[in-house]
Amino acid sequence: MDELEHTCASLRAQIAATETQLAGLKRDLESAEQAAAKARAQHVTNTNTTSNHNSDTRRWPLLDEEYRRYGRQMIVPQLGLSGQLQLRSARVLIVGAGGLGCPAALYLAGAGVGTLGLVDGDSVDTSNLHRQVLHRSQDVGKLKVDSAIEYLRDLNPHPTYIAHRAHLTPQEAPGIFADYDIVLDCTDNPASRYLISDTAVLLGKPLVSASALRTEGQLMVLNNPPRPVGDTSGGPCYRCVFPRPPPANSILSCADGGIIGPVVGTMGVLQALEAIKVITAGKEDIKPPALHIFSAYSSPLFRTIKLRSRRANCAVCSTEALVTLDTLRSGLTDYVFFCGTVNPEALLTAEERLSPREYRAKYPEVSRGGLTQQQEPTIIDVREKVQFDICNLENSINIPISTIQASAYSKDGDKPGSMPAWLPEHIASMDSTDPIYVVCRLGNDSQTAVRKLKELGLDHGGERAVADIKGGFRAWREQVDPEWPEY
């Protein structure tokens, strides 16, 4: 036993040392890449200058290959040669190399933006591939920024690509943003959106912000025109539009709510378009701020809501600003605290929860037919029907959590013992003592459902087992059935 523990401790120490070495190598690589990017940019400048001086026939500001590559967009009146030159000298930062960032980067690189920076600390997962179009099956496990830049270089070798291989933090955001002209927010959580907007305002950078979920998306161009803090002529920031974040428990991620690939792709492409417009627009071309809402299954597909100018009491862009570069760099501005925790709450006691392994041991599948009527458990699956139809346990009952929460589950005082309509009669029967187990995808909604069932008195004062399957179907796959579909 001592030898095994020594081996485990030795392996942990080796892993820690290797991770430290890997972190150092990543920092060295980022520094080397930035130096190489500057050298490439200087080489291109020197080459063009030398070519212009040494050749009597070289009278044009772009390379021959660039005229052929960008010609179709340069003949558009709104862009022209001057717009192409503005794109060539622009430095664009994309925060997030996922469903929004991939199409945005794809079209900005294709359009000839001179420098494109990507910020992301995630690695490519198989579940990303249906919508994050810069990543391929062979890239699974690779850092997203590396996968994306590899694809972009194949598409267009002219831009300078800069990788920021980490999640954005308040301490590092100002230093990163300072090197760019415009920022695209392609993240998927409120804390990041407030951080990106605050930093963009404090450093005077226009911001193109978008979001997408299920079949809908939103798009805004913020802090445009960028003006100093307290200048009411500047464009509104994210805090001006949303002074308070939504409740943490109301936020759905793509993993929970789902997303159709072309929906998030549409929003990312629109971000690229708005960035091009901001880069090439004159002062007279700046439009009033607006929120554009896309709904894939509505007609019309788009609608636009006018936005007000900067708020007089905004916490970042008004004269009453509380958020400053100092509060960012020092960590005093806590975005996670401001937006609230999204960690699942433990609503039940340990006695009210059963792991999938414990459930299967208590009710072996091969002997289910031999159980007595009183022993046979009832399984309530509280996932939405669309998820229930993908995969479900045999003989389980589907009662979506949205149905449970939307109904009046308190008993009617005029009808003692009455139960809500969503509850099947054989479960609602006060004579039944069959155990009830509730399951969901991750083990969060099931806890809420158990609480509601107990409020209805279905546990008979503790005589009837009403519990949830801890960890939901993700844990079920790990502990009981490795063939259970992972979606």
| Known binding positions for ATP | 99, 120, 127-131, 144, 188-189
For the question of residue 254 being annotated catalytic, the response is: yes
The residue annotated as part of the active site, out of 8, 186, 254, 339, is 254
User: Which residues define the annotated binding site?
Assistant: 99, 120, 127-131, 144, 188-189, 237, 240, 314, 317
Contact 104, 184 (CB under 8 A): yes
Active-site option among 102, 186, 339, 440? 440
What residues form the annotated binding site for Zn(2+)? 237, 240, 314, 317
User: Strand 207-213 and strand 182-185: pairing?
Assistant: parallel
Angle (nearest 5°) at CA 126 between 168 and 21: 50
Residue pair 147/134 in contact by the 8 Å Cβ criterion: yes
The verdict on whether 339 is a catalytic residue reads no
Residues belonging to the active site: 254, 440
